[in-house]
Amino acid sequence: MMTSSTYSWLTLGLLVLAWSTSTVLSQDHMYTLPDYKDHPCVRQCENKAPPRLCKYHWVLEVYYVLSKACFNCPFNQSDCSRPHCVPADGVSRGIRTANRMLPGPGIQVCEGDTVEVTVDNRMEASEGTSIHWHGILQNGTGHMDGVAMVTQCPVTSHSKFVYRFKAVNPGTHFWHAHAGFQRSDGLFGSLVVRRPPDLEPHLHLYDYDLPEHVLIVNDWMFDMTINRFAAHHHDGGQNKPDSMLINGQGRYEQFPGDNGTLHYTPRAEFKVKPNHKYRFRVISNGILNCPVQVSVDDHTMMIIASDGNSFQPFVADSFNIFAGERYDFVLYADKVSPLRNYWIRVRGMAACKVNYAHQTAILRYEGAPLEDPPESTTWQEAFRGGIKLNPWNSKGTDTLVEVSRMISTDPDDDTMTSEPDRKIYLAMDFNKIDNDRFNKPGLYPFSAVAKNKHLYSPQINHITSVLPSSPPLSQFDDVPEDAYCNAESVQTNCDLDFCSCVHRYQVSLGDLVELVVIDEGVTFNSNHPMHLHGYNFRVVAIEKLNTSTSLEEVKAMDARGEINRTTSRAPLKDTVTVPDGGYTIIRFRADNPGVWFFHCHIEFHSEIGMGLLFQVGTKDQMPKTPKNFPRCGNWKFSGYDDDEDDKDERDAQDDDDEKPNDKTPSCPNSGEAPSPVPVSRVFAFLTFVLIVVKHLGLDHAAQ
């Protein structure tokens, strides 16, 4: 017979087993990775309906194309759509994912909803991250803008960060990592903010605006981006995209099957009903210098919005989309005789032309045969003539129409007619200079290495921008003033000597700011899509002058009144191209205090210095920092907390040194309460206490 003591200890063992099992179950639950396609916030937006809190949980990981989760994909096409399977274009490579999806989970909400995303960083190699909500203005919530080392510290490995902001500006936006090259390797996804139908200016132009009619296009490489970056910048390796993706899918790699058959990974498909009109939303997560032409065979497109801002409808045969831009168009599915399917084509130019990078998706008519369109899918066949919106490095004509000629549906304001309070000229180019990071004078200067290893530095006003050691928005006083510079304050000739600093312009809250952004175009026939965080701006002028130009030439033209600025209904955008050998002029009212990044959205250009910060307002005008917001920055050893004997010596040493950010950097989970203890553990613990008490009582009675 089992004694009471034996029974008690056996029960204790079972409880310990239950405790450990609850831990395993808890960890297993973490890998239930939802795609959120059926999220309750995906709904018809209604007037006067209460806004919702829309919560998401993303697990960020280093993952792999065609992993074991794909089983027999692409030979068995149904395997390609298994959970956790990322087929991409069939080329196996490492990637970075949110919830093991490419693209990551889409967000579809209504204007006024609150978006709350828990970012759970489980990427290997202790890699920090941040997520930027591209197109969301973050008025009053600048700390949620998600720019590592500008608005926040990176979210450290094995920790979580909760982003929380209101979706106050409707339109087609997207989210992407804003640390290192993570968005280039897969950390991106759509973010669509809809409004009630009666507030939508173009509602009468279409029958359907469906969540599944969002297209994300991007150029794609066949290995991790950091490998290409290191090879190109340190040894002259090629930096040309290999392929392209539409919604993370496409065909490239061939898989030989039985009897000489070839198998491919699936393309993206978009279904339409005959004789109905559909709103499509196109997002560019462009990575390298790859402008993308978008077209639909045998269909025209009525383009109605860009970067979330509507303009008067413009009918075109194709449009170009640059990195960071978004365009909405209406497609009339009226090709019914005969009823068949058509190619949606994306065709890369510039750097993408080297490897003829392109991709296709299928516009599938309901009732049409389940077969691919008959036309060729080559890069050459993807060229589309006719009317094109947003040309790449071309002078505007009747058929090549700059986006600055679109007519906004938003009413006029004084940004287009008032005299600007601040007028800033920003000249960009690839400059031949000994950048210490890549051409070390005295060791391997520019002049000493082979021509194919020359690295021309992408700069603004001959300044290479670096990120500060602490984010200035949340740790304003931890960035010393001498870390900043701009063309007016720098104390050297940057045409001859390499200049590098935290490139910053300060503007007063409420200023009307005009930026004359010039691509001098001396070195390459390239272009730069420039994105401004925190603002929509009016695009008042775009012009390509010649194969090259200069800051001085554009200033002289401006002084002579030779630049024609739009003075009424200029389109609103947050990302715009600057043509090579030309200029783009934008204006915005600096009414959103904070520290905002303005940068080229080509990944390699931004990473090595083609960007700057706009500090809008003074320190006391900045938005309030959320409680317990993570801190980071420089640190130096100065003893230990309990080392009182050296306190006076340390204080004296600190007085002699320049002021550092010598507080111990902290990196806790931010914005999230500690995880609650599972009920099973609480029950097990209480039962354990009762058993111990009972056991002790029985033993005492036995004595």
Q: Collapsing DSSP states into helix, strand and coil, what is residue 78?
A: helix
**Structure-token pair, residue 500:** 């590098």
The one-letter amino acid code at 20 reads S
Q: Which of 237-251, 458-472, 604-618, 638-652 has the lowest mean pLDDT?
A: 638-652
Contact 321, 307 (CB under 8 A): no
Q: What is the mean pLDDT of residues 646-668?
A: 53
Q: Which helix (H) or strand (E) holds 551?
A: helix 551-559
pLDDT above 80 for 662 = no
Contact 192, 281 (CB under 8 A): yes
**Structure-token pair, residue 43:** 């709904």
**Structure-token pair, residue 261:** 């058959």
pLDDT above 60 for 5 = no
Which residues touch 388 (CB under 8 Å, ≥6 apart)? 293, 316, 317, 318, 319, 320, 399, 400, 401
- Tens of pLDDT along 456-513? 999 999 999 999 999 999 999 999 999 999 999 998 899 999 999 999 999 999 999 9
**Cα(170)–Cα(45) distance, rounded to whole angstroms?**
11
Q: Which helix (H) or strand (E) holds 239?
A: none
**Structure-token pair, residue 27:** 């960890």
Q: What is the mean pLDDT of residues 68-83?
A: 97
The one-letter amino acid code at 369 reads P
Q: What is the mean pLDDT of residues 577-598?
A: 98
Which pLDDT band holds residue 667 (cuts at 50, 70, 90)? low
Which pLDDT band holds residue 21 (cuts at 50, 70, 90)? very low
pLDDT above 60 for 304 = yes
Cα–Cα separations (whole angstroms), residue 211 to 86, 194, 284, 309, 377? 20, 10, 17, 18, 26
Cα–Cα separations (whole angstroms), residue 463 to 417, 426, 489? 31, 10, 11
Q: Return the number of other C-beta atoms located less than 10 Å from residue 389's C-beta.
A: 24
Which pLDDT band holds residue 314 (cuts at 50, 70, 90)? very high
**Diameter of the chain measured on Cα atoms:** 108
Contact 416, 568 (CB under 8 A): yes
Residue 644, pLDDT score: 61
pLDDT above 70 for 70 = yes
Which pLDDT band holds residue 654 (cuts at 50, 70, 90)? low
Contact 322, 307 (CB under 8 A): no
Residue 645, pLDDT score: 58
**Cα(292)–Cα(299) distance, rounded to whole angstroms?**
18
Residue 259, pLDDT score: 87
pLDDT above 60 for 336 = yes
pLDDT above 90 for 146 = yes
**Cα(657)–Cα(671) distance, rounded to whole angstroms?**
35
Contact 187, 117 (CB under 8 A): no
CA atoms within 13 A on the CB side of 671: 17
- Compute φ and ψ for 451, nearest 5 degrees: -60, -35
pLDDT above 90 for 335 = yes
Contact 270, 361 (CB under 8 A): yes
**Structure-token pair, residue 316:** 């075109």
What is the average pLDDT score of the chain? 90
- Compute φ and ψ for 316, nearest 5 degrees: -140, 160
**Structure-token pair, residue 268:** 């993206």
Comparing CA positions, the residue from 517, 703, 680, 696 lying closest to residue 5 is 696
pTM, two decimal places: 0.90
Contact 541, 569 (CB under 8 A): no
The one-letter amino acid code at 200 reads E
Contact 134, 531 (CB under 8 A): yes
First to last CA, the chain: 20
CA atoms within 13 A on the CB side of 493: 2
Residues 178, 181, 183, 185, Cα dihedral to 10°? -160
**Cα(684)–Cα(616) distance, rounded to whole angstroms?**
55
**Structure-token pair, residue 371:** 């077969």
Q: How far is CA 325 from the centre of its chain?
A: 11
